[in-house]
Amino acid sequence: MCQLLGLNCATPTDASFSFTGFCQRGGNTGEHADGWGIAFFEGRGLRLFVDHQSAARSPMAEFLQKYPLKSKNIIAHVRKATIGEVALENAHPFTRELWGRHWVFAHNGDLKDYFPPLHSHFRPIGSTDSERAFCWLMQELSKSHASLPSTEELTLTLRELVPQVRHFGSFNFLLSNGEALWAHCSTKLHYLVRQHPFALATLMDHDWTVNFADLNHPGDRAAVIVTTPLTHNETWTAFEPDELKVFVDGLPVLEKTA
């Protein structure tokens, strides 16, 4: 299985601490060595980095750990290939345009015999079940809304769509349009909110402790969503099976079961 990492923040935040620990799972402390990627929203722009090399060995991943980029919405992924060969086009996150916005998607799980009907605007480039699911979600969202709806409306539509994909297998995913971050758990996903008063955090997969009180202001806040907790001295909350959460400005603002 792959692993997911997402950050949704009240103010632009760098992910270097979480990303450094997360990368170790891409071939060092974990077996997810079949590619990686990370996407940073900057306003309506997007910076996307993907690689078919393991995150623990990739020079690009090492560069990003040392040259942090700040964003309010970040999605990262380390891959253990199950469906689709190890190739650059199969590295998550995937991106598409809808309603004049970038959308970013990363998936952890296996969807068996999943080949949904897709029209010409949303078609996969690679050979993963994950990209097919993303294309189908984008296609169905575009059918359901003529223009960009509110976050609440999008969440309600996703609640109707997600079970149709979930029927084919495990479907843990992160999805963002730069304004909100949706997280769905079918098997395993955790989150925490870092906010004032900030405290120490120590990575599980790397020898690094940070005092977030030294790095943040009282108005800063970040929700961190990950497959398996990244730190051993913070309180992580497990998602319920088939739970969909949406995060805005560093908080879970709407919680529904899909």
Structure tokens that stand for 162 in this block? 């997600």
Contacts 24+ apart (CB under 8 A), 155-159: 155/182, 155/244, 155/246, 155/254, 155/256, 158/182, 158/184, 158/244, 158/258, 159/244, 159/256, 159/257, 159/258
The residues assigned a catalytic role are 2
Closest CA to 65 of 93, 38, 96: 38
Q: Which three-class secondary structure state does DSSP give residue 142? A: helix
Residues 24 and 56: their CA atoms lie apart, in Å, by 5
Closest CA to 81 of 29, 129, 22, 28: 129
